[in-house]
Amino acid sequence: MSVHLLRGAFLLAVAAVFGFNALHLKIGSPAKPGPGLFPLIVSCALGLAALGMMTEGRRELTEPNTFVLKNIALITIAMMGFTIIAHWSVIPAIVFLVFVSSLAGSNYSVVRCIKISAVLIAFAAAFRFGLGVNLRWWW
């Protein structure tokens, strides 16, 4: 399928979500616009642009790039795990982030992960104690 068709469909879906939600807000009148008027207008404009892109897709047959789920999924899991664990302590959070995100790399090394974790913990200490960033250090 052409990339133009795909991205047109994607943006049309986004425009529909925002547009329908805007309809649930107070639209008001042009003289006294409510909170829904502006997003509704922008959603309509986005929808039109998306339709335009889909029309372009009929002329241009460019394929989309390959979507590799594994790497982005590992990165997302690593960040979400970091956030959950950092509520208690940033040290195990860093270790989790490094060990999980490194799985996305081409070659995995436990020793390397330990070294990176140690360096990042030192950075976290500098942020925490040097710059006063409110990272939770201990449980």
Partner 1 sequence: MIDILNNLSMGFGHALTTSNLLYCLLGCSIGTLIGLLPGMGPLATISLLLPLTFKLPLDGSLIMLAGIYYGAQYGDNVSAITMKMPHAASIVACIDGYQMTLNGRAGLALFAAGVSSFIGGTVAIVVLSTVAEPLAHVSLLFGPADYCALMVLGFFCVSYVSTGGSVLSGFAMSLLGVLLGQIGTDINTGDQRFTFGQDALVDGIGLISIALGCFGIAEIAKNLDAKSGFTPFSGKIDLRPTWGEFKRIIPSALRGSVVGSFLGLIPGGGPTMAQFGAYAVEKKFSKYSAEIGQGAIEGVSGQAAADEAAARTSFIPLMSIGIPENAVMALMMAVFIMKGIQPGPGMIQKNPTLFWTLVTSMWVGNVFLLIVNVPLVRYLLSIFRIPFANLFPAILFFCCVGTFSHQNNLDEIYVTAAFGVIGYTLLRLRLEAAPLMLGFILGPMLEEYFRRALTINRGDFTVFIKSPISGTIFGLIAVFIVVNIAMNLRKPKQVAASAAAASASEH
| Cβ partners under 8 Å of residue 28, min gap 6 | 34, 35, 36, 37
Our finding on whether 27 is near partner 1 (CB under 8 A) is no
Kindly state whether residue 133 participates in binding partner 1, applying the rule CB under 8 A: yes
137 binds partner 1 (CB under 8 A): no
Residues 49, 89, 92, 125: which binds partner 1 (CB under 8 A)? 49
Minimal distance, residue 98 CB to partner 1, in Å: 4
Helix (H, G, I), strand (E, B) or coil at 28: strand
User: For residue 8, what are the contacts with CB-CB under 8 A and spacing of at least 6?
Assistant: 50, 51, 52, 53, 54, 55, 56, 57
Instruction: Report the residue number, 110 or 134, with the smaller CB distance to partner 1.
Output: 134
User: Considering only residues 39, 89, 92, 125, which one is a binding residue for partner 1 as defined by CB under 8 A?
Assistant: 39
